[in-house]
């Protein structure tokens, strides 16, 4: 361990710690910087993180300095502040200062550094500045503005070190130096939008989010990406009832600070025009809307014990929903008539970084709750044997043509879901559930990690939280202990699934928890 003093504060850090990180710990906030990023190699090109170390004649850049025992460091004296001002002036020499029309305004490192360390009058006139390419499309997801670039090289290092695809580089020298793609190459990898996240200015912007919303108008909610079994931790940025973007949320045990481009676009399905927003009952071959009271009475009539031949779950359900649906299924149809879905469904090509080939968020949770999936042929055989009601909750099993034909031949199909998809098209009654961003729950990723996600936006129309629908159906089926709150449901789920493990399912840690390595929690 190394003992050092930073701005009069003594602290002890492990040997090998970078001075930048030690200063962050001592100050409670990072030093000014552009090029430093904790998940990338050190470049030391922006020179903004200079500090004074007693006994050294020159200022040192903290990102490329390792702590030594006995160091005395100053991060905010007159000498350091003057150097920061001069470095900022250098970065701003050719910057267009077009903040009013820049998507990065409100979360821009250059703005932040200037407000804290600058506030000077520039000596460079706008007409003297070197002009470069504006709004250059460099890939399917990203637009480059070379004039705004401060040449921090974060994007270059990301493509070299994280994805290993190397599409970006720095070309030319001096004030003509610029970030660009190699000739004939597009920035087109599964993680290209991470370069937008790590760009400290507005040089790289998202084609999807560009000019959509000022960031200071957005609220944020913690969630889990439902795009695959990796379970990347994400932040939902939203206003009112609309999601505008998804961004990665730091979790060193799952996705670090990254997420794939495919996952970022999943918010679009939440606002899809095919959303199921009202209960719908088939009449004369067409689905017609009805109120929840009539829909509930119809559902209870269809789900009388003895009339249900099959209950079909989905790996898109939350852990709580999977457990509750199983309880309902056991009461209505029995163990042999419970099927978790189509085995191997929604498997697509993945990669070695984050994008898993299993494109469902909770297949591990489905198994944990006691569900078993069946091959298509076995599921179709069960459906063809059904003479009563088939209850389908979540997902879209009828996306498979043979399953769709078998469901269409069933006497009664009750579907609880989010979209007017192929499965809803076979239903006698379709009940609108909540999308992943409209409810709270728990997903279990491929490694068995339980991760909680929160609700962010209101549900459209008459859509309801799935657990409430299931709880009401369970009560109608004669269950006296149907849960009345999500908290009560989580407590019962924890007691059922993990009776010998001491951790609190109600208050999962922010990074999630694996039951094989439990973490005790309070009531939350």
Residues, the chain, total? 524
Asked if the structure places residue 114 within a domain, the reply is no
- Between CA 428 and CA 326 the distance in angstroms is 22
CATH number at residue 318: 3.40.50.740
Could you tell me if 511 and 253 are in contact, meaning their C-beta atoms sit under 8 angstroms apart?
A: yes
Asked if the structure places residue 257 within a domain, the reply is no
Same domain, 335 and 213: no
With a pLDDT cut of 70, the percent of the chain lying above it is 96
Asked if the structure places residue 269 within a domain, the reply is no
pLDDT in tens, 59-83: 999 999 999 999 999 999 999 998 9
- Chain centre to alpha carbon of residue 42: 27
CATH number at residue 48: 3.10.20.740
Same domain, 480 and 413: yes
Same domain, 409 and 482: yes
pLDDT in tens, 214-233: 999 999 999 999 999 999 99
Give the angle subtended at the CA of 296 by the CAs of 295 and 297, to the nearest 5°. Answer: 90
Asked if the structure places residue 309 within a domain, the reply is yes
Q: pLDDT at position 517, please? A: 64
pLDDT in tens, 271-315: 999 999 999 999 887 889 999 999 999 999 999 888 999 999 999
Classify burial at 308, counting beta carbons within 10 Å of its beta carbon; exposed 0-12, middle 13-18, buried 19 or more. buried
Same domain, 149 and 286: no
Same domain, 304 and 163: no
Asked if the structure places residue 38 within a domain, the reply is yes
Asked if residue 93 has pLDDT above 60, the reply is yes
Q: pLDDT at position 114, please? A: 82
Q: Where are the beta strands (DSSP E) in 348-478?
A: 389-393, 412-417, 429-432, 441-444, 450-453
Q: pLDDT at position 368, please? A: 95
Provide the terminal-to-terminal Cα distance of the chain, rounded to the nearest Å.
35
Same domain, 472 and 407: yes
Asked if residue 240 has pLDDT above 60, the reply is yes
Same domain, 87 and 133: no
pTM: 0.92
Where in the sequence is the domain holding 296, given as residue range(s)? 280-440+459-497
pLDDT in tens, 444-495: 999 999 999 999 999 999 999 999 999 999 999 988 889 999 999 999 999 8
Same domain, 139 and 64: no
Asked if the structure places residue 522 within a domain, the reply is no
Same domain, 429 and 291: yes
pLDDT in tens, 35-53: 999 999 999 999 999 999 9
Q: Say how many domains are in the chain.
A: 3
- The mean pLDDT of 25-29, rounded to a whole number, is 93
Asked if residue 18 has pLDDT above 80, the reply is yes
Asked if residue 519 has pLDDT above 60, the reply is no
> Which domain-ending residue is among 166, 184, 217?
217
- Between CA 441 and CA 224 the distance in angstroms is 10
Both tokens assigned to 500: 């010998």
Asked if residue 518 has pLDDT above 60, the reply is no
What is the spatial order of strands in the sheet that 60-61 belongs to? Answer: 9-13, 2-6, 72-74, 50-53, 60-61
Same domain, 75 and 135: no
3-state SS of 245-277 is: EEEECCECCCCECCCCHHHHCCHHHHCCCCECC
Asked if the structure places residue 62 within a domain, the reply is yes
Same domain, 335 and 464: yes
> Which domain-ending residue is among 195, 217, 239?
217
Q: At 115, is the pLDDT very low, low, confident or very high (cuts 50, 70, 90)?
A: confident
Asked if the structure places residue 452 within a domain, the reply is no
CATH number at residue 133: 3.30.70.20
Same domain, 434 and 285: yes
């Amino acid at each position: 361990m190394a003992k050092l003093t930073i701005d009069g504060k003594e602290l002890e850090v492990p040997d090998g710690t970078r001075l930048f990180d030690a200063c962050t710990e001592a100050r409670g906030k990072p030093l000014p910087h552009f090029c430093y990023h904790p998940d990338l190699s050190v470049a030391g090109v922006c020179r903004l993180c200079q500090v004074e170390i007693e006994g050294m004649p020159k200022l040192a850049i903290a990102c490329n300095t390792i702590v030594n025992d006995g160091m005395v460091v100053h991060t905010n004296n007159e000498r350091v502040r003057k150097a920061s001002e001069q470095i900022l002036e250098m970065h701003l020499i050719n910057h267009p200062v077009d903040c009013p029309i820049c998507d990065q305004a409100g979360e821009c490192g250059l703005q932040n550094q200037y407000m804290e360390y600058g506030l000077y009058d520039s000596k460079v006139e706008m007409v003297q500045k070197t002009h470069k390419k504006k709004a250059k499309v460099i890939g399917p997801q990203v637009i480059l503005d070379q004039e705004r670039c401060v040449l921090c090289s974060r994007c270059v290092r990301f493509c070299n070190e994280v994805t290993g695809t190397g599409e970006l580089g720095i070309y030319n020298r001096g004030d003509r130096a610029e970030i660009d793609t190699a000739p004939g190459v597009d920035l087109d990898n599964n993680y290209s939008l991470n370069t937008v996240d790590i760009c400290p200015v507005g040089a790289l912007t998202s084609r999807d989010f560009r000019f959509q919303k000022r960031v200071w108008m957005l609220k944020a909610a913690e969630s889990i990406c439902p795009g695959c079994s990796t379970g990347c931790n994400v932040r939902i940025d939203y206003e009112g009832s609309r999601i505008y973007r998804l961004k990665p949320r730091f979790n060193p045990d799952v996705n670090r600070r990254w997420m794939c481009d495919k996952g970022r676009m999943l918010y679009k399905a939440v606002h899809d025009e095919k959303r199921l927003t009202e209960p719908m009952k088939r009449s004369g071959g067409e689905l017609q809307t009805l109120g929840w009271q009539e829909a509930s009475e119809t559902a209870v009539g269809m789900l009388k014990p003895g009339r249900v031949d099959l209950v079909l779950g989905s790996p898109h359900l939350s852990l709580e929903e999977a457990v509750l649906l199983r309880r309902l299924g056991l009461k209505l149809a029995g163990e042999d008539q419970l099927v978790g879905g189509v085995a191997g469904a929604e498997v697509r090509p993945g990669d070695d970084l984050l994008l898993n080939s299993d494109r469902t968020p909770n297949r591990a949770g489905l198994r944990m709750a006691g569900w078993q999936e069946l091959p298509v042929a076995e599921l179709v055989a069960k459906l063809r044997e059904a003479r009563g009601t088939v209850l389908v909750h979540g997902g879209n099993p009828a996306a498979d043509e043979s399953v769709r034909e078998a469901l269409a031949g069933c006497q009664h199909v009750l579907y609880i879901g989010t979209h007017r998809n192929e499965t809803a098209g076979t239903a006698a009654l379709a009940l609108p559930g909540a999308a992943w961003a409209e409810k709270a729950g728990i997903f279990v990723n491929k490694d068995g990690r339980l991760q909680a996600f929160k609700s962010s936006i209101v549900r459209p129309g008459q859509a309801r939280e799935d657990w409430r629908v299931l709880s009401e159906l369970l009560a109608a089926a004669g269950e006296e202990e149907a849960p009345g709150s999500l908290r009560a449901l989580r407590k019962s789920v924890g007691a059922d699934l993990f009776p010998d493990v001491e951790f609190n399912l109600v208050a999962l840690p922010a990074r999630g928890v694996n039951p094989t390595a439990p973490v005790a929690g309070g009531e939350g």
